[in-house]
A and B are shown apart, each in its own frame.
Chain A
Amino acid sequence: MTAIRTNSLTKRYGDSVLAVDDLDLTVEDGEVFGFLGPNGAGKSTTINMLLDFVRPTEGSATVLGLDAQSETDEIRHRIGVLPEGATLYDRLTAREHLEWVIDTKGTDDDPDAILERVGLSPADGDRPAGGYSKGMAQRLGFGMALVGDPDLLILDEPSSGLDPTGMQEMREIIADEADRGTSVFFSSHILGEVEAVCDRIGIMNEGRLVATGTLDDLQGELDLGAPISLEVESVPENLALEGLDGVRSVTVEDGTITATCAEPSVKVDVVRHVADATTVRDIVSEDVSLEQLFNTYTNGGRKEDAATTEVTA
């Protein structure tokens, strides 16, 4: 059985906006799938179609083997959802939220156990959600998704509003759920976030699925490069950093030199080379952001007509 399958799923708004374009996506049972893409790439629209909030213009989708449009009741009994950007009911307490979900799903979960699991104290549980911080609201929303031990979790930008500790805790719960055999489908615009938990990722851009595969495979396939920035006292002329072996490109801006290296190990050569020529004030070595990933992918001369790069794991 597949957790999620879409066939030529397409959503058009009016004549001009193509939010999701001919999407063919398969998430296997028991898999943790990271659904990546910059804001506006069509991730939320795709999730909204899986949940029957939005109706596809063309194509179809199944969730747990059930038709996403005609078998919504059964689907909603068996999945847990953390929607994006949804507010809770200001006047209801966390416990009332959970009891409501438990009643509607007809399960026998213990609200207190769920509160504890997502890191909310019993005192928090008795306060109206209107007074919650964004992080607390996100924890409660996640708790509501966990009610009834769902077969599939659909989490739309689950880490938004969470501090690093909260993100870490959420990743641990996702990993726990995956160990219990739950399939997880979650969207994010932060590449680093999916690294730790995902079996496989798919990348959306401008409504199209541009790549699917394991993260390692994709990074190799996309050939992202590793950026390093050096803040210098003065930018020396004739630096000739581009000539260095393994340096792919160099930009200079306001006393900051940024080099993109083919391999992370080249970074140290860059630092040595620049330090020989001038005084280095600071070094910033970052992971590739998803935006950079897309820039690399779409502007780096790697445009392929077959937009989907399937990388076998």
Chain B
Amino acid sequence: MSTLDVAKKDFLDVRRAKIVWFVGALYTMFMLLLVYFGQNNRPDPSILNALWNLTAVGAMFIPLIALVTAYLAIAGERESGAIKYLLSIPNSRTDVVLGKFVTRTAVVSASILIAFLIGGILTLAWYPSPEMDTFALMAALTVLYALTYVAVAIAISAATASRSRAMGGSIAFFFITSVLNVFGPLQLAIDYLLNDLAGLEVSLNQIMFVQSLISPTAAYVNSTGLAFPDGFNTIPPNLPWFLQGETMLVVLLAWLAVPLALGIWQFQRADLG
């Protein structure tokens, strides 16, 4: 099983990369701050509010963890030529893409789960009603969300021949699907394209669905209905089926599988000169 041979060696390598642990530690710090200030000097502290704020922070920060961990996985080795050692021994190109995905997944998942574990222990200690169900579901959704960006970063890395292009591609993808989504222009752009230009008269809900297809960040934010109680904060009640959490899970899974498949396809065609 040489996917695992690739993964095993890559894990030895990547776990010694300090930048990866740095961004992971930063996320853990956000978690600690939010959990701490969520209960500090408040008469009726709610962990749900702290988790809600964490989702907002994570919407843009989680992709950064994932992209930083994964964008150089393959392109970096193509630029340095190390990929030739990798492919001179019995590894296929598919093994390389999948093996890299496995290790970067492990590293990103570990850093998110450590953050949630520490946050969870403090929550049990500090909050009157710890809401561990929501906590666990949010941890799972956040890991899945991170993996969609790992898959995208691996795909970009597989399709580019140099560090600079992989970085450019990753930043562009992050900016469009995460930053522009969080601050609103993505939704406005879809509205403009579909309603003003094409005259399709689609509803806001339908726009939000298209937005989720374009942006894993949107799909993640819309999926949090699965973890929080109905109607919590800004989660609207009576959502149509295509904006329900379950549908968003399917969208997120597609964001995992499709980029990987495209990455493998591109990498298999590439000349590694």
Of the candidate stretches A71-79, A196-204, A230-238, A301-309, the one touching chain B is: A71-79
Q: How far is the CA of A89 from the CA of B90 in the complex (A)?
A: 18
Instruction: Chain A residues near B6: list those with CB within 8 A.
Output: 104
Q: How far is the CB of B162 from chain A (nearest CB, A)?
A: 14
Q: How far is the CA of A141 from the CA of B90 in the complex (A)?
A: 16
Instruction: Chain B residues near A55: list those with CB within 8 A.
Output: 271
In the complex, the answer to whether A73 meets B5 with C-beta atoms within 8 Å is no
Of chain B, the residue at the smallest CB distance from A128 is B16
In the complex, the answer to whether A105 meets B89 with C-beta atoms within 8 Å is yes
Kindly state whether residue B56 has any CB partner on chain A within 8 Å: no
Q: Please report which residues of chain A, range 71-97, place their CB below 8 angstroms from some CB of chain B when the two chains form the complex.
A: 72-73, 76-77, 79-81, 83-89, 91-92, 96
In the complex, the answer to whether A86 meets B82 with C-beta atoms within 8 Å is yes
Q: How far is the CB of A77 from chain B (nearest CB, A)?
A: 5
SS class of chain B's interface: helix, strand, loop or mixed? helix
Kindly state whether residue A45 has any CB partner on chain B within 8 Å: yes
Kindly state whether residue A103 has any CB partner on chain B within 8 Å: yes
Task: Tally inter-chain residue pairs, CB-CB below 8 A.
Answer: 84
Question: Do A48 and B8 contact each other (CB < 8 Å), given the known contacts A83-B85, A87-B82?
Answer: no
In the complex, the answer to whether A48 meets B81 with C-beta atoms within 8 Å is no
Q: Which of B9, B16, B81, B92 has the largest count of A CB atoms less than 10 A from its CB? A: B9
Kindly state whether residue B122 has any CB partner on chain A within 8 Å: no
Q: How far is the CB of A215 from chain B (nearest CB, A)?
A: 28
Count chain B residues whose beta carbon lies closer than 8 angstroms to a beta carbon of A: 24
Q: How far is the CB of A93 from chain B (nearest CB, A)?
A: 9
Question: Do A104 and B273 contact each other (CB < 8 Å), given the known contacts A86-B84, A86-B85, A92-B12?
Answer: no
Q: How far is the CA of A52 from the CA of B272 in the complex (A)?
A: 9
Count chain A residues whose beta carbon lies closer than 8 angstroms to a beta carbon of B: 35
Kindly state whether residue B204 has any CB partner on chain A within 8 Å: no
In the complex, the answer to whether A89 meets B2 with C-beta atoms within 8 Å is no
In the complex, the answer to whether B92 meets A73 with C-beta atoms within 8 Å is yes
Instruction: Chain A residues near B234: list those with CB within 8 A.
Output: none
Kindly state whether residue B80 has any CB partner on chain A within 8 Å: yes
Q: How far is the CB of B183 from chain A (nearest CB, A)?
A: 37
In the complex, the answer to whether A105 meets B90 with C-beta atoms within 8 Å is yes
In the complex, the answer to whether B273 meets A54 with C-beta atoms within 8 Å is yes
Q: How far is the CA of A285 from the CA of B83 in the complex (A)?
A: 42
Instruction: Chain B residues near A80: list those with CB within 8 A.
Output: 88
Question: Do A104 and B82 contact each other (CB < 8 Å), given the known contacts A48-B273, A53-B87, A91-B13?
Answer: no
In the complex, the answer to whether B272 meets A53 with C-beta atoms within 8 Å is yes
Kindly state whether residue B125 has any CB partner on chain A within 8 Å: no
In the complex, the answer to whether B80 meets A104 with C-beta atoms within 8 Å is no
Encoded as 1 (CB less than 8 Å from any B CB) or 0, chain A from 31 to 69 comes to: 000000000000011001001111100000000000000
Instruction: Chain A residues near B2: list those with CB within 8 A.
Output: 104
Q: How far is the CA of A96 from the CA of B85 in the complex (A)?
A: 14
Q: Please report which residues of chain A, range 90-126, place their CB below 8 angstroms from some CB of chain B when the two chains form the complex.
A: 91-92, 96, 100-101, 103-106
16 extra A-B contacts, CB within 8 A, seeds A53-B272, A89-B9: A44-B273, A45-B273, A48-B272, A53-B273, A76-B88, A76-B89, A79-B88, A80-B88, A81-B85, A86-B83, A88-B85, A91-B12, A92-B13, A100-B8, A100-B9, A104-B9
Q: Could you list which residues of chain B lie within 8 angstroms of chain A, going by C-beta atoms?
A: 2, 5-6, 8-9, 12-13, 16-17, 80-85, 87-92, 271-273
In the complex, 12 of the A-B residue pairs with CB atoms within 8 angstroms, ordered by the A residue number, are A51-B87, A53-B271, A54-B272, A76-B91, A83-B85, A85-B81, A86-B83, A87-B82, A89-B9, A101-B89, A104-B5, A104-B9
